[in-house]
């Protein structure tokens, strides 16, 4: 008797085809997960870069518009409009604030105890800035969090060496350039070098 040839797949053929199909599905799911993780990482990095550019642009514009002011009391100079050390700088510049407020402010850029890069602004002189009580706190805005390092340098002219501090009484003028170097969340930002002018 002759055996009829059966039509269909053998068990081995079915196991091999299911194995190949499982590998294709696994590879597809892994690719989709990787694509999703890459998209999240890319969005996070893009957001960080946009924040860095906005902060650097604000600082550069603020320093570019420094307005050199000397306040007088009874005919004698009372206050200077630019002073700085290696980790903070105070100067006068125009500033636009929310709600239509704006004008010439004394501005201080520094790092707070909580590792935040902050800009403080008030309408008084620098001396008034340091003498403010709790009832007269300056306006304060956070520009960046998790600041590891803020280094500020000053120089008198393009050919001069960079200095760690600048006190108007010692130099009788504002510096020609200010360089700000930031390290935020373990990453170094591009240095900000600004030419100081008389806004």
Q: How many angstroms separate the CA atoms of 196 and 178, rounded?
A: 7
From the list 188, 146, 187, 162, the residue with the least C-alpha distance to 84 is 162
- Find tokens 């350039």 and name the residue: 177
Q: Which two tokens stand for residue 70?
A: 């000397």
Name, in order, each residue with C-beta under 8 angstroms of 25's C-beta and a sequence gap of 6 or more: none
The pTM of the full predicted model, rounded to 2 decimals, is 0.72
Task: List the helix and strand counts (H, then E) for the chain.
Answer: 3, 12
Phi, psi dihedral angles at 7 (to 5 degrees)? -100, 140
Q: What is the pLDDT along the chain (199 residues), one digit of tens a residue?
A: 455 566 777 889 899 999 999 999 999 999 989 888 888 989 988 998 999 999 999 999 888 888 777 666 677 765 567 889 999 998 888 877 666 677 788 889 999 999 999 999 887 656 555 554 444 677 888 999 999 999 999 998 889 999 999 887 677 778 889 999 999 999 999 999 998 864 4
Q: Is 158 exposed, middle or buried (0-12, 13-18, 19+ CB in 10 A)?
A: exposed
């Amino acid at each position: 008797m002759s055996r009829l040839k059966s039509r269909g797949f053998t068990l081995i053929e079915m196991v091999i085809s299911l194995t190949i199909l499982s590998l294709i599905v696994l590879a597809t799911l892994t690719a989709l997960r990787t694509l999703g993780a890459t998209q999240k990482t890319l969005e996070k990095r893009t957001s960080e870069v946009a924040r860095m550019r906005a902060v650097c642009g604000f600082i550069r514009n603020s320093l570019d518009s420094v307005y050199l002011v000397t306040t007088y009391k009874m005919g004698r100079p009372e206050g200077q409009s630019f002073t700085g050390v290696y980790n903070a700088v105070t100067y006068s510049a125009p500033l636009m604030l929310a709600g239509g407020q704006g004008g010439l402010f004394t501005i201080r850029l520094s790092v707070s105890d909580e590792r935040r890069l902050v800009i403080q602004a008030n309408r008084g002189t620098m001396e008034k800035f340091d003498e403010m009580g709790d009832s007269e706190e300056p306006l304060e805005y956070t520009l960046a969090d998790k600041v590891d390092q803020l280094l500020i340098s000053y120089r008198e002219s393009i050919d001069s060496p960079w200095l760690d501090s600048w006190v108007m009484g010692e130099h009788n003028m504002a510096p020609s350039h200010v360089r700000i170097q930031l390290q935020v969340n373990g990453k170094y930002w591009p240095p900000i070098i600004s030419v100081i002018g008389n806004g």
